[in-house]
Structure 1
Amino acid sequence: MKEYRVKGLSCGNCAQMLEHQIQQLENGETAKLSFNSGKLLVDERVPLSEVKEILKTDGAYLVDESDHHDEHTEHDHDAHDHSHGNKKMYLMLGTSALLYALALTLDVQVAASTLILLYLTATAISGYTTFIRGLKNLLRLKFNIDTLMTIALIGAISIGEWKEATLVAILFGLNELLEGLGMEKARRSMESLLKVAPKEATKLENGNEITVPIAKLAVNDIVIVKPGEKIPSDGQVISGKSSVNEAAITGESLPVDKSEGDPVFGGSINNEGVLHIRIEKAYEDSSLAKILHLVEEAQETKTPTELFINKFAKYYTPLIMIVAALVMVVPPLLFDGDWSSWLYQGLAVLIVGCPCALILSSPIAIVSGIARNARNGILIKGGVFLEQLGKLDTLAFDKTGTLTKGEPYVEQTIVYDESKFFEVAAAIEKSSSHPLAKAIMKEMSRRGIEAKSADQIETVSGRGIVATYEGAKYWLGNEKSMGHLNIPETVQSSIQQLKEQGLTLVLVADDNQVLGMFGIADEIREESRSVITQLHRIGIKRTVMLTGDHHKTAEKVANAVGVSEYYSDLLPEDKVAKVKELADQGVVGMIGDGINDAPALATAQLGIAMGKGTDSAIETADIVLMQDHLGKLPEAVTVGRRVNRIIRFNIAVSLGLKLLALLLTIPGWLTLWIAILSDMGATIFVTLVSLTILIQKKNQP
């Protein structure tokens, strides 16, 4: 499949028809033409000349990326380009409007033939491309907006409605221009996200600095990133210190300090110091490349609402044509109506048959919603997931690494022998990489205790460690590792007390007694409680915590963060079963870290992963929070709900204005200019309302 950029698509409905025609070509069955992104995917075997001819019928054309579509090529097209910056279209519409104003001013002062000439010239200047396309479509019996407008123009001129025909041609041209501008604005917002990718990198080779395209970088290459430059791909700092802006990946504007050994993401910006970075991924495998690819793909997916609108539009236009024919013939034949008046009314009804505003109800809102969330570091893999996000009523959370940091810390200590307890614990845990050992060593560091080294360290699986320190033997681990002792009731009581608080215990003992114990907990994220509160406030009915931890730990975290319910002691398959059970009662989103929660994420109607760019998170979920916290989740849900609300509102406005125009035929009040204004008004309105999704106040999260 080859990808081409297409310009000049006049509307979503037209793009759909062009796609259908390209699919009829030999080997063209898999062709996809997206109005949202202005891109065409087509099999390389399909003759490009035939594709160009099909596009030309709607005034669209392929952009030659290799030549950057130079000006000469652009002027070779006989049809206007609806994209932003088309001076020719502005000039044509401006000239037509001036001629129309001149004709209105001279209405009673010049001969009728002069007025007709002015009106005809104005109509031809602004409407000739529509007229040519419409005639071609009429000969093929293909009925789209151009065909309807052409029939209406011919009919209006044939009954002497010169003034109305001219106004319709000008307004239709303006409508098409504004429609193109609206979609282009949403596309540009999306494209501005895609420009964050760096183009070149400074590679260190045999002591020399050479500039290479990022596509040429290989794993283990060393690159130098100076202040203000973009980091070319994912890697690790091998020397230098600086702060880095990771907004392109995470949406977080606050810089992150980096020094030797720290990971960095491609596309992030180095602020002040010079960094030497070892590349760990070729650019196409980097987090940024995957994000940009997924953001581009997200524009192509059609939501259930869009599919319904497109299906509805197929039947809507022929139905309006039948209604128009009935309006033209029934009143004169059955009720002695005036043929000329009812022919005029029928022509006006034809214009109401344009489904452009209706088809535009969804795509601009969807692209705007995806772009807005991507700007905040929230990666939504398609419009269908954005729509689903707006429908959520239940959110299930994994505990470890999601509501908590996934980093154990010492919450309580009970000491029976001050002189030995900390010193022995530090010596035994010093060389261990176990998460609980790291928590204990962090506590030792906080207390300023220097760790010496223990001897003959022996690990007993599932229990703890036996070690020798300064000639004496010591035990460190859970209660089961203290089997050599007769633990007194007071110590037993303390153990029970800490366990009831949901803490994990690490005891330290010698030959005779317990020296003390650590009560270790998984640190709750600072933002978890406020996020849960916000989610309830914006209408999420149920927040559910799912964890493999035991009941007391789960209860403690659930109470601390404020979830509405929790389930503990769950195996991965139990989480899947619980998500299925919740899905039977509402629309469920499951949030996890994208690594051990993959089955549950896949089972939920919407899988949401947090991961700060981890591959597994990006690949597993439908939505990825690129930060390593939940802070932006409520805003993502709010944007999803707003998009759904705006789409419903747009559909109501589009159909409502058309219904109102059709009702005006009953007393015979519908005019050609009211008909075109009903469609134009709806188009402008749904475009502007959809673009408001992109607006983000500076103080918003």
Structure 2
Amino acid sequence: MMKRTTIQLWCEKYGEALAAAGTLIFILLALVTGTVSEIWSVSFYLLAYVSGGWLKLKDGIVTLVRDKDLDVNLLMIAAAVGAASIGYWSEGAVLIFIFALSGALETFTMNRSSRDISALMELKPEHANVLRNGEEVNVPVEELQIGDLILVRPGERIPADGMITEGSSAVNQASITGESLPVDKVRGDEVFAGTVNGQGVLYVEVTQSSDSTLFSKIIRLVQEAQSEMPKSQRFIEKFERIYAKVIILATLALIFVPFLLFGVLWEDVFYRAMVFLVVASPCALVASIMPATLSAISNSARKGMLFKGGAHLDHISRIKVIAFDKTGTLTKGELSVTDVVPYAGLCEHELLQATAALETLSTHPIAKAIVQKADACRSEDDFDDAWMRPTDYQALTGLGIAARMGGMRWRVGKPKFIMPADEENDVHGVVRSLQQQGKTVIVVQREEEIAGIIALQDRIRPQAKVMVQQLKRIGIQVAMLTGDQEQTAAAIAKEADIELVFAELMPEDKLDIVKKLKAQYGEVAMVGDGVNDAPALAAASVGIAMGATGSDAALETADMVLMNDDLDNIKHAILLGRRTQSIVKQNIIFASVVISALIITNFVFGVPLPLGVVGHEGSTILVILNGLRLLKS
């Protein structure tokens, strides 16, 4: 297959928009020159027909030749030509313009959604450092084979799924699991492609080929989920083709049956048939949806809600359940110190400052949170003494740190690192109580005695609980999906007043749960911010991404983006979608009634073409004005 040129790609992207703009310009020129020269006016109308109609005519012919079927493209062209054939050039040109404009808007939406997995692909590792015959070789990830030994340096992205054979480190798996903290990895642990190595050097044995990695599966899940055509779209396509066939056949019947069987004059039957073709054209029906949808999209954009297409407004109006990712969505995605419990004669301030001094040399998120908290509480004369400078510093991956400070030996780390598991005392009870609240707990030891406990937690967003209550009031069920452990998930869910909680999830698990929720409740929205949320966002009826903190993959995959991460806008988006659908239904009913009335009247009494045009164009203008009301809602 030949590679498409830049000009071809540019035409595919902007061709229909230019065609619609050209049609409008030629219509205006025809109106201006109409008072001077009829020839010039007709010439400009012909150019308007060609400008706006040739792409649709081509599509209609392709459908006719390839599928042996008629579609709405040929119907609209026939209606426009029919209007022109009886001298109503302007009406036909306006019909062409409206149709060309709708095509341009559809193309724009498709171009936006076609980039859905581009950000995912950018995160996919391209090269790996492989150890072969004692030498390090840099190769493309596609050339990796199962059993290869790869070297991953600190800060590098792990290029393949595998098992650690040597080394230890904290690995940031947020892109895969959504966990809020890096996970400590040691020899024998599994690692995934696309995750980021922390401070240690890892030797990893490849266990999956490049096209079988978990990261590659995420990309495929997004593609598969987005390839599923909604039922409403299939119905619309089927309806358009049936409608086109009926109108074309009816027009032909109106022309030839009276002329051949009843001897009616050709001029009379052709005139009445062309009137029928004009009044039966679905201009008002088309205008019933697009102006209202565009008005709602413009309205939502001003309030920080970006819809990527009009169909998503329809879907969000029917939402029954909204599933939220936890980390970075319901929560801020940043650890903060929540509890400081001192022992051994220390006060809270002394414990916090001493622990921060020990953690200053660490880059772990827990250490950063403690140092940040200590800095916020520090006074000008706090602890500048030499005894607050640690020496003999050791970082024990997966456990904690050890150092000497002030002539004493200190250790900071996980409870299992500091306290024997076979002992039971008051400190164990405090640790368990904090862990049951979903908090991350570290213990500080000075010499042989416990100096204190510090607990940290990812804070819930201030508006999350109010937002959940508002959604429940308008009849929406709320669920939470997270890769974090059950205790942490349960604590956050309780604080946010969420009953449906799903924890310890991988990306494919989130996708499965979204599908189950859709089967159980109906339309489901998914709100997320990470790469790991992308498959679920794509599979949901409406995928909603956090615009300020969301990953590129989430932003590209989502159907709607909260530009300022304001969760309150989710309720406004649902209500706006409901109001949009209400107005669309009003327009469709009104347009259908007018078209039906004109068609029936034309059959029974005969409608003069000017009256038919007034009825047709008037109904179109009225439904557009009704849709524009959404600009101020």
For the superposition of Structure 1 and Structure 2, which TM-score range results when normalised by the shorter chain? 0.5 to 0.7
- AA aligned to 2:618 is G
- AA aligned to 2:546 is M
Distance 1:184 1:126 in 2: 26
More RCO (CA 8 Å, sep 6+): 2
Q: What SS does structure 2 have at the residue aligned with 1:566?
A: strand
Tell me if structure 2 keeps the 8 A contact 1:133–1:147. no
Tell me if structure 1 keeps the 8 A contact 2:358–2:403. yes
Distance 2:48 2:103 in 1: 23
- AA aligned to 1:421 is L
| Aligned residue in 1 for 2:374 | 444
Q: Deviations over 1:365-391 (max 9, x none)?
A: 444455444454544444444544444
Mapping of residues 614-653 of structure 1, within 5 Å: 614-653=551-590
Distance 2:13 2:416 in 1: 66
| Aligned residue in 2 for 1:147 | 81
Mapping of residues 451-530 of structure 1, within 5 Å: 452-483=388-419, 489-530=425-466
Tell me if structure 2 keeps the 8 A contact 1:407–1:522. yes
Q: Deviations over 1:490-545 (max 9, x none)?
A: 33332232223222212212234322212222111112223333333455x32210
Structure 1 residue 683, shift from structure 2 partner: 1.7
Q: Deviations over 1:322-377 (max 9, x none)?
A: 453388569967xxx99998886555434323333333444444444554444545
- For the structure 1 residues 651 and 478, does the alpha-carbon distance in structure 2 shift closer, same or farther, using more than 3 Å as the test? same
Tell me if structure 1 keeps the 8 A contact 2:316–2:541. no
Tell me if structure 2 keeps the 8 A contact 1:617–1:624. no
Q: What SS does structure 2 have at the residue aligned with 1:144?
A: helix
**Do residues 678 (structure 1) and 615 (structure 2) align?**
yes
Tell me if structure 1 keeps the 8 A contact 2:393–2:403. yes
Structure 1 residue 659, shift from structure 2 partner: 0.5
Structure 1 residue 88, shift from structure 2 partner: 3.9
- For the structure 1 residues 564 and 34, does the alpha-carbon distance in structure 2 shift closer, same or farther, using more than 3 Å as the test? farther
Tell me if structure 2 keeps the 8 A contact 1:186–1:364. no
State the identity %.
28
| Aligned residue in 2 for 1:38 | 17
Distance 1:376 1:486 in 2: 57
**Do residues 544 (structure 1) and 479 (structure 2) align?**
yes
Mapping of residues 229-308 of structure 1, within 5 Å: 307=237
Q: What SS does structure 2 have at the residue aligned with 1:38?
A: helix
Mapping of residues 662-677 of structure 1, within 5 Å: 662-665=599-602, 667-668=604-605, 670-677=607-614
**Do residues 411 (structure 1) and 347 (structure 2) align?**
no
Tell me if structure 2 keeps the 8 A contact 1:345–1:668. no
Tell me if structure 2 keeps the 8 A contact 1:83–1:184. no
Distance 1:29 1:448 in 2: 59
Pick one of 340, 354, 357 that aligns with 2:281.
Answer: 354
Tell me if structure 2 keeps the 8 A contact 1:408–1:522. yes
Structure 1 residue 429, shift from structure 2 partner: 1.7
Distance 2:261 2:292 in 1: 41
| Aligned residue in 2 for 1:277 | none
Tell me if structure 1 keeps the 8 A contact 2:444–2:453. yes
Pick one of 298, 313, 328 that aligns with 1:401.
Answer: 328
Q: What SS does structure 1 have at the residue aligned with 2:531?
A: coil
Distance 1:181 1:150 in 2: 17
Distance 1:486 1:424 in 2: 28
- AA aligned to 1:38 is A
Pick one of 467, 472, 475 that aligns with 1:531.
Answer: 467
Structure 1 residue 30, shift from structure 2 partner: 12
- AA aligned to 1:604 is A
- For the structure 1 residues 412 and 696, does the alpha-carbon distance in structure 2 shift closer, same or farther, using more than 3 Å as the test? farther
Q: Deviations over 1:165-223 (max 9, x none)?
A: xxx677x3796599599979999x99xxxxxxxxxxxxxxxxxxxxxxxxxxxxxxxxx
- For the structure 1 residues 531 and 127, does the alpha-carbon distance in structure 2 shift closer, same or farther, using more than 3 Å as the test? farther
| Aligned residue in 2 for 1:317 | 247
Q: What SS does structure 2 have at the residue aligned with 1:462?
A: coil
Structure 1 residue 682, shift from structure 2 partner: 2.3
Mapping of residues 314-353 of structure 1, within 5 Å: 314-322=244-252, 324-325=254-255, 328=258, 346=273, 348-353=275-280
Tell me if structure 2 keeps the 8 A contact 1:134–1:149. no
What TM-score, normalized by structure 2, do the two folds share? 0.62
Pick one of 580, 586, 590 that aligns with 2:526.
Answer: 590
What TM-score, normalized by structure 1, do the two folds share? 0.57
Distance 1:467 1:486 in 2: 25
Q: Deviations over 1:79-99 (max 9, x none)?
A: xx5249x75455467x59xxx
Distance 2:415 2:590 in 1: 69
Tell me if structure 1 keeps the 8 A contact 2:80–2:93. no
Tell me if structure 2 keeps the 8 A contact 1:476–1:507. yes
- AA aligned to 2:17 is G
Pick one of 365, 368, 376 that aligns with 1:435.
Answer: 365
- For the structure 1 residues 367 and 327, does the alpha-carbon distance in structure 2 shift closer, same or farther, using more than 3 Å as the test? farther
Q: How many residues align?
A: 478
Structure 1 residue 408, shift from structure 2 partner: 1.2
**Do residues 563 (structure 1) and 524 (structure 2) align?**
no
| Aligned residue in 1 for 2:488 | 553
Structure 1 residue 629, shift from structure 2 partner: 4.5
Distance 1:653 1:596 in 2: 45
Tell me if structure 1 keeps the 8 A contact 2:84–2:92. no
- AA aligned to 1:662 is I
- For the structure 1 residues 542 and 651, does the alpha-carbon distance in structure 2 shift closer, same or farther, using more than 3 Å as the test? same
Mapping of residues 114-125 of structure 1, within 5 Å: none
Mapping of residues 107-256 of structure 1, within 5 Å: 144-153=78-87, 172=91, 179=98
Structure 1 residue 406, shift from structure 2 partner: 0.8
Q: What is the CA RMSD across the aligned residues, in angstroms?
A: 4.7
More helix by share: 2
Gaps of 5+ in 2: 55-60, 62-73, 110-231
Tell me if structure 1 keeps the 8 A contact 2:342–2:351. yes
Distance 1:454 1:647 in 2: 69
- AA aligned to 2:367 is A
- For the structure 1 residues 378 and 607, does the alpha-carbon distance in structure 2 shift closer, same or farther, using more than 3 Å as the test? same
* Higher mean C-alpha displacement, 557-566 vs 343-352: 343-352
Q: What SS does structure 1 have at the residue aligned with 2:441?
A: strand
- For the structure 1 residues 309 and 688, does the alpha-carbon distance in structure 2 shift closer, same or farther, using more than 3 Å as the test? farther
Distance 1:681 1:312 in 2: 26
- AA aligned to 2:510 is K
Distance 1:463 1:131 in 2: 78
Gaps of 5+ in 1: 5-27, 41-59, 63-80, 97-120, 154-167, 191-301
- For the structure 1 residues 575 and 181, does the alpha-carbon distance in structure 2 shift closer, same or farther, using more than 3 Å as the test? closer
Tell me if structure 2 keeps the 8 A contact 1:378–1:623. yes
